[in-house]
Amino acid sequence: MINETSEKPNIFELLELQERKYIDELNFLVENHDRLSTVEGLERTKKVFDSIRKHLEHQDQLIACGETCDESVASINSYKNVKKKIMEKINQIVLMHVDEPDFLEGLQSLRIEVKTMADLEEARLYRNLRKLIDEKKLEAVREAVLEDMVGTNRN
């Protein structure tokens, strides 16, 4: 959970904020699909997919720091399985036209996978990584992610 009193969010808080943002956008897409123009639907879909990919990239940086610890193997493997499903779903949706009925079904299915990943992160993955990765490594990943997020927002 986000620490509201901290001026400087830690890596887990940054990832949680990033995730919350793209989940909100994905929810908007699913709930308003019929009201969006084709162009707006495509633009928003691209933005969500880019945000999800970027989030997964950032998580991979964090996970790389704790991957060698036996205690984290199960939660990391679960994360990798869900990540694979998410990427497969995105790749399937990309091939569809925004007006196809399967497009909305694909977004709904993606939303389920994304929520599964969010639950996994909150319940096990982040908790394990917090215990296993030293503060120096966490701070280094945090700085890299922050730099990437700031650079991404400028574009």
Cα–Cα distance for residue pair 59/105, rounded to 1 Å = 26
What pLDDT does residue 122 have?
83
Tokens of 14: 């940054």
Tell whether domain 11-154 is in CATH 1.10.3470: no
Identity (one letter) of the amino acid at 4?
A: E
Higher pLDDT pick, 151 / 13: 13
Q: Cα angle at 7 between 148 and 137, to 5 degrees?
A: 50
Other CB atoms closer than 10 Å to residue 104's CB: what's the count? 18
Q: Please report, for the chain, the start and end positions of each structural domain, with discontinuous segments joined by +.
A: 11-154
- Between residues 101 and 68, the one the model is more confident about: 101
97-114 mean pLDDT: 94
Task: Give the CA-trace dihedral at 153, 82, 66, 60, to 10 degrees.
Answer: -30
pLDDT-above-70 percentage for the chain: 94
Query: Is the predicted pLDDT of residue 2 greater than 50, yes or no?
Result: no
Average pLDDT of every residue of the chain: 89
Q: What is the pTM of this model?
A: 0.86
5-43 confidence digits (pLDDT tens) = 557 889 999 999 999 999 999 999 999 999 999 999 999
